[in-house]
Amino acid sequence: MSQLIPISTPLRGFKDHTAAIWAVAVFPDKRRMLTGSWDKTLRLWDLNTGLMLKKMKGHRIDVTTLAVSRDGRTIASGDENGELIAWHGETGESLITQPIKAHSKYISCLDFSPHGTVLATGSWDDTTTLWNTKTWQPQRNTIKCSDRVRSVRYSPSGQHLAIATNSNIEIYNPSSRRRVTNFKGHTVWNFSLAWTPDGTRLLSGGDVKDPSIREWDTSTWKQVGDPWMGHAGYIYTIAIHPAGTHVASASADNHVRLWRLSDRQSIAIFQHSGVACVTFSMNGKHILSGGGDNMISEWEVPDDTWPEEAPEKSASKVLSPTAEELFIQEISKLNSAADKQIQTLRQQYAGLSEAEGVIRNIINVQLDTAPLRLLNTATGLLCAREVQMRVFEASTEYKELLLHSVKHPDLRTQEHIAEVVATYFRCVMLSHRWGETEPLLHDIQDKVVYRLKAADSLMKLQLFCKIARDAGYHWAWVDTCCIDQKNNVELQKSLNSMFAWYHNSALTVVYLSDVPPSSKSGALAKSAWNTRGWTVPEFLAPKVIRFYQHDWSLYLGDDSPNHKESANIMDELQDATGITACALVTFQPGMRDAREKLQWASTRVTTVPEDVSYSLFGIFGVQLPILYGENKQNALGRLLQEIIARSGDVTALDWVGQPSMFNSCLPANISSYAAPPYTLPSLPEDEIQTVISSLQNTMAAGLASKLYDQLDNMSAPRFANCRLHLPCIVFRVTEVRRRRSPAQGTPFMYGVKADGLRDLLITTEETLIQFTPARRTLHTFFLVRPWDRRLLELPDFADSEQLPFADDEESLGDSSESESPLDDLPSDSPIEQELGDSDSHSRALRLMVRLVQPFSAFLLLQQRGGEYRRIASDHDIIAQVKDVASVHNIMGDVRTLEIL
């Protein structure tokens, strides 16, 4: 025979385990496979699609062996600690409340009796135990063996139980426990056993000093023929082809060998690194092997290995296809048809891979806006994104969707797919106040949440998942355990995405741990939850929200599906937060009304100081680096810098308190925004018109247009290297005199005079240099009015901008009809030009009137390098120009200052 060349490329690989696979079995339904791994888990697989159907957790240490009953209804698995778990063959759920301590040492092997009523377990504690699979109690005494047990196998009839130990091969009558015979077997250790389907032969595999397979006649227990040679290491597993014609063996020499039983010849070699286990598919056409590369490799049995006369070859092909497979098979036939009419028919259907690709792409789009990890509410397991996909692909919804997609490959189908996918992946989010011992990622990873010992925080997690599950949702998310807090990249992505996650959630559950059952209205406002920083975006972002009390009953007994539609609850939340009920229900993120939003967060507290600012990123629609340890002034400074630079909104500079080390124009604490901005008096419209009329046809009217153009051309405020470049109207301070403070220990009060301004008082904790026109100083002080473009009264195009989460289904209407006869005028017509000039002239005069009104100012002190520093005040500085004539002098004092 010519030398065999090892086959190194499998048909496909089954990848999901994270450690060596030490056991594999296929189900009698011919469609599923079970694997056990040193990653402490078992996994169920779909052999048709290659998808992982279920991860089975329960072992606390490496899974070393497994078995599936002949009818496929029961699964058993053993581990390195000697613990045994029984599982339901269909659902993969545990049949016992906790693992059974079956042996004192490593369980090396398992096998079910032919009728599945008994399970045999063999261990390195030199014993074999038989278990009743209904009660999961041991049957009578254990079998004391001669040495470590390596393999146990029932004969096909169940009349014999073969046990391979390090020293001997022992044959027992399992009913009587009587040993029928024992013999040496291999030179040193006996590693593996397998019976032929007719029970006339028993095969055994040896160790590295005798790496052979030996064949034993079960009527005489004598060896038949010579040892089967070819392997060069321990033979861990022997598998028999379902038809009894071939044998597969897995060895420590990194090879799987295929043997022909009739002549004991090795007819194919498959190269698999670290291989430890092997089995045949139920139809016998494929070999499945697992090992140290953490995957199952599927190998095709070469056609030329089958004898032409073997009737088993055709018999082994018999496999009952599903309706879906029959449909796909028919589509495949159409692919190769020559008839043009048939080819036209084929074009009406999509290929399976094409349909799978379309669905997968839509899933990817859906999950791109979802959290990275989600809790499966059915299993209680934390699932990464790839696992989420596999769970869906194993669901009935997916299979129905796949079949529908193959039959109807059109745009409407893609819309249907998107709808089904969005529905399946709907997620429930939790908003809560963190307790002292919240479960983190490492506490629940690879564990069933529902089975964990229910301490306070774990009970909260369990009950939240049950509420989500009972509401019909597959997925849930909690900030404590669904984020890897130690992974900076993941943490940053999560915190920057959190507002969108809450907004896209199907439901946000708010848990008020300190609100007792049957509480009356007002308890929500008093809850500690209502003081925390992160809860602000958590109740603004969601579209649907429900509040739960300490015992997980609904707040105020309100069982409506969305508490944002409850007037009572929203009114209470409005009173507690200062946020209008309308904003609570319809909030959209963005820069608009920045000063008001900062006030919402001004009294909130967080455990980590920087989080006060980070929690606002989503509210303002910004994404910035998360830099824990930078200190709260830097975090707030970076946020305010972004708001001012992007929006041009200078109201964020309207605060009282201590200045920030980040920039003196910004506050050190967000609490500086707690007081609402000073409400400036404004002229009624009729008085504005009266003043405008008095200015018409005067020199002031011409100056107003020039000043308007000058201010209109001012650049927007910007930051560079923490320096604020602020466009403003500047008033030089000509006198600073200290006044007596109203009480000892309070800030100093100064009388201040400035060119063009009425005299005013300023209070500050800083000691200012006093000077007068007669006693000058080298220091330069300015009172400045930050330039606010809203005074130009230009149209606010921001109203028509698409917001990040705005409803994009509104129509702009039919623009073909003219709203006014003037719409039909050419753009350069004299009438339109005259109207435009009149409107511009009116706006310029209105600006002149507005500049005469009181305004919020702040005091700047020039530094040696020519830059400026803001002098913080304990009260709002309200300034006012002396008269309209003073406005004329403004033109020379409109500039951009650089502020440190």
Q: What is the DSSP string of 89-136?
A: TTT--BSSSS-EE--SS-EEEEEE-TTSSEEEEEETTSEEEEEETTT-
Task: Give the DSSP H or E segment for 899.
Answer: strand 894-899
Say if residue 572's pLDDT is above 70.
yes
In this predicted model, what pLDDT tens digit does every residue of 238-295 receive, in sequence order? 999 988 889 999 999 999 999 999 889 999 999 999 999 999 998 888 999 999 999 9
For the segment 408-463, what is each residue's pLDDT rounded down to a tens digit?
766 577 888 899 999 999 999 999 999 888 899 999 888 888 888 877 778 999 99
Q: Does residue 396 carry a pLDDT above 90?
A: no
Residue 317: which pLDDT band, with cuts at 50, 70 and 90?
Answer: very low
Band of pLDDT at residue 762, cut at 50, 70 and 90:
very high
Rg (CA), the chain: 39
Residue 405 is predicted with a pLDDT of 79
- Residue 441 tokens, joined: 């990622």
Q: How confident is the model at residue 2 (pLDDT cuts 50, 70, 90)?
A: low
Q: What is the pLDDT averaged over residues 809-827?
A: 39
Alpha-carbon distance of 481 to 167, in angstroms, equals 50
Stated as kind and residue range, the H or E segment containing 867 is none
- Which token pair is 385? 């994104």
Q: Is the pLDDT of residue 802 over 70?
A: no
> Residue 378 pLDDT > 90, yes or no?
no
Among the ranges given (644-658, 678-692, 824-838), the one the predictor scored with the smallest mean pLDDT: 824-838
**pLDDT surpassing 70 at residue 745:** no
Q: At residue 887, does pLDDT exceed 80?
A: no
Global pTM exceeds 0.75 = no
Q: What is the 3-state secondary structure (H, E, C) of 694-713?
A: HHCCCHHHHHHHHHHHHHHC
Stretch 629-645: mean pLDDT: 95
Question: Given this model, what pLDDT does residue 809 score?
Answer: 38
Tell me what the mean pLDDT of segment 485-509 comes to. Answer: 94
What average pLDDT score do residues 661-666 get? 96
Give the whole-angstrom CA distance, residue 859 versus residue 784: 7
pLDDT recorded at residue 890: 75
> Is residue 548 within 8 Å of residue 625, measured between CB atoms?
no
Mean pLDDT of 155-164: 93
Give the pLDDT band of residue 810 (cuts 50, 70, 90).
very low
How far apart CA 342 and CA 714 sit, in angstroms, is 71
Measured CA to CA, the distance from residue 352 to residue 347 in angstroms comes to 13
CA–CA dist 26, 32 (Å, integer): 6
- Three-state DSSP state, 350: coil
Higher pLDDT, 682 or 780: 780
Contacts (Cβ under 8 Å, ≥6 apart) of 644 = 650, 652, 653, 717, 719, 724
* Alpha carbon distance 450, 442 (integer Å): 16
In this structure, of 178-192, 337-351, 503-517, 647-661, the range with the lowest mean pLDDT score is: 337-351
Q: Are 614 and 495 in contact (CB under 8 A)?
A: yes
Q: Average pLDDT in the 575-604 region?
A: 93
Mean pLDDT of the chain: 86
Q: Report the alpha-carbon distance of residue 53 to residue 376 in Å, rounded.
A: 13
- Across the beta sheet with 295-300, the strand order is 12-15, 295-300, 286-291, 275-280
With cut-offs at 50, 70 and 90, classify the pLDDT of residue 699.
low
Give residue for tokens 């910007």: 718
**CA-based nearest residue to 33, from 18, 17, 398:** 17
**Does the structure show a pLDDT above 70 at 309?**
no
Instruction: Quote the percentage of the chain above a pLDDT of 90.
Output: 63
Sign of the alpha-carbon dihedral angle for 673, 678, 684, 685: negative
Q: What amino acid is encoded at 21 in this protein?
A: I
pLDDT band for position 757 (50/70/90)? very high
Task: Look at 209-223, 728-742, 884-898 and tell me which has the smallest mean pLDDT.
Answer: 884-898
Residues β-bridged to residue 280: 287
CA 749 to chain centre: 54
Query: 899 vs 715, 725, 733, 856, 872, CA distance in Å?
Result: 15, 6, 17, 17, 13
Residues 773, 790: contact at Cβ < 8 Å?
no
pLDDT single digits (tens) 42-84: 999 999 888 899 999 999 999 999 999 998 999 999 999 999 9
pLDDT given for residue 243 in this prediction? 85
Res. 798 pLDDT band, cuts 50 70 90:
very low
Q: Is the pLDDT of residue 112 over 60?
A: yes
> Quick one: pLDDT at residue 141?
84
Q: In which band, very low, low, confident or very high, does the pLDDT at 744 lie, cut at 50, 70 and 90?
A: low
pLDDT at 643 (0 to 100): 95
- The whole-angstrom separation of Cα 639 and Cα 764 is 26
In the chain, the percentage of residues whose pLDDT exceeds 70 is 87
Tell how strand 718-720 and strand 748-754 pair up. unpaired
pLDDT at 838: 62
